[in-house]
A and B are shown apart, each in its own frame.
Chain A
Amino acid sequence: MTRTPKSNSADHNSLIQWAIQMMKKLSGHLRASIAQVDDIHRQKAIDDLEWEVTEMKHVFALLSAGCFIGMPVVPLPVTLELLPDARQEFAIMLSKIPTAQSPLSEQFSKFDAV
């Protein structure tokens, strides 16, 4: 059976259609992969930044209210004036009291969450 020019053209078109669909699927998969990778990296960046901010807040709490756990640093009047607005910092200081004598155990306890 010989192929007529018309049937050759139809095959060619369906091939192109198939290629276009494949390309669309592929680009869809690629976009999804890139979005996933972006999400992972974004989440990692957020986690790193949040850890950094947490540590900076700990330092701030220690500097501003360390006198309540025996670390006189900032002049006490500065601390007392700050305290009504620094609830989070004060809560951090209070939470540090139980582990103040054993910082290693606090570090190891982080593995529990993992």
Chain B
Amino acid sequence: MQRILFFIGKGGVGKSTLSAVTAVALAGQNKNIVLTSLDPAHNQSDLFQIPFSENPSTVLPNLQVIEIDADKWIRSYLKRAEEQFQAAYAYLTTFSLEKYFSVIRNAPGIEAYALMMAFEHICKKYIKADYLIFDMPPTALTLSFFALPGVSLLWLDKLLQLRKEIAEKEKIISTLRLGKKSLERDRVMQNINRQIEHWSELNTVLSADNFKAVVVRNSDVLSQAETARILTRLADLQIKSPFIFNNKVDGLEVGNSDFDFCRGENLIGLEKIKSYCLGLDVGRLQKILEWNI
């Protein structure tokens, strides 16, 4: 069964490095890997010294790497929304759509939504991969991303309840007026139900047993503190039992973790990453990442 890993953590702890190392290590064990950077400030191109893009690049025979263009996803989403809007509101010629959609581009939630659409696309396209590894943005955007399905479903449920009450009262009015119930379709309710179905599917993926968050931390105080906050927030979002990977370990005790990665010098380029993997207990790493589903 496919496993999905999200590498998360404070900025600079080594999420990109460890996601790249893990991808190369697992690919070396003949696993089929797709490594995707969802961080708008991509680092995978710098790590591998290969220019990556939305089109997958084959770095090793069973390792493909993708860097998502979040701006492109936002633009295409807003373009689709604008087209639907124009078709539905053709009579509103005085309403300036361009002005509103240029503002919406920077509205809260849009970037997280763009990443969610990209994530959905990757999951659908690479269903045969053994591992989908996601290099995530720093904490704030990542937590918004994880919270988005739950928050959307909460609001959609409220909107649906209100809409059902409106529909009930309209039925009563119609019965009083006409002596019979009218059978007009409520397109808004159908729309809400469609959205509930879509967000429920995404919620199911993020709470499935084959999905794991990997929290990367360093030994410094700030990283430890942020890791504690991340773990609390993940628990609130009901994201189960994340892995904890310690990075840049110098032999100092940093607390319980699932795996320790010692400090690597100048891990730039595929050969350096492969060389680093030779010093890893890849068997143990693989065992951890083949958790029971």
A residues touching B (Cβ–Cβ < 8 Å)? Answer: 42, 45-46, 49-50, 52-53, 56-57, 59-60, 63-64, 67-68, 72-78, 80-87, 89-90, 94
Interface residues of B (CB under 8 A from A): 81, 84-85, 87-89, 92, 95, 100, 104, 107-110, 113, 148, 151-152, 155-156, 158-159, 162-163, 165-166, 169-170, 172-173, 176-177, 187-188, 190-192, 195
The residue of chain B having its C-beta at the shortest distance from the C-beta of A63 within the complex is B159
How many angstroms between the C-alpha atoms of A82 and B113 in the bound complex? 15
- B107 pairs with A76, CB closer than 8 A: yes
Q: Are A83 and B81 in contact (CB under 8 A)?
A: yes
Contact: B173 with A53, CB < 8 Å? yes
CB nearest to B107 among chain A residues: A76
Tell me whether B159 and A74 are in contact (CB under 8 A): yes
Determine the main DSSP class of A at the interface with B.
Answer: helix
A-B contacts, CB under 8 A, total: 91
Closest-CB distance, A50 to chain B (whole angstroms): 6
28 contacts between A and B (CB under 8 A): A49-B169, A49-B172, A50-B173, A56-B162, A56-B165, A60-B162, A60-B163, A63-B155, A72-B107, A73-B155, A75-B113, A75-B152, A76-B110, A78-B155, A78-B159, A80-B81, A80-B104, A81-B191, A81-B195, A82-B159, A82-B192, A83-B84, A84-B191, A85-B188, A85-B190, A86-B188, A86-B191, A90-B89
Closest to B113 in A: A77
A72 and B191 in contact (CB under 8 A), knowing A46-B173, A53-B170, A56-B169? Answer: no
Closest residue on chain A to residue B116 by CB atoms: A77
Complex contacts, A90 vs chain B, CB 8 Å: 89
Instruction: Establish whether residues B162 and A63, one from each chain, have CB atoms under 8 Å apart when the complex forms.
Output: yes
A94 and B188 contacting across the interface, CB-CB below 8 Å: no
Q: B151, A75: Cβ atoms under 8 Å?
A: yes
A84-B88, A86-B191 in contact; A49/B159 too (CB < 8 A)?
A: no
Task: Give the CA-CA distance A72 to B151 in the complex, in Å.
Answer: 14
Q: How far is the CA of A52 from the CA of B100 in the complex (A)?
A: 31
Asked whether, in the complex, the Cβ of B87 is within 8 Å of the Cβ of A89, the reply is no
**Chain A residues closer than 8 Å to B159, beta-carbon distance:** 60, 63-64, 74, 78, 82
Q: Which 7 A-B pairs have the closest CB atoms?
A: A85-B187, A84-B84, A85-B191, A77-B113, A84-B88, A74-B155, A80-B81
Residues in A with CB closer than 8 Å to B92 are 94
How far does the alpha carbon of A84 sit from the alpha carbon of B190 in the complex, in Å?
A: 12
**Would A83 and B85 count as touching, CB distance under 8 A?**
yes
On whether A46 and B177 interact (CB within 8 A), knowing A56-B169, A60-B163, A75-B148, the answer reads yes
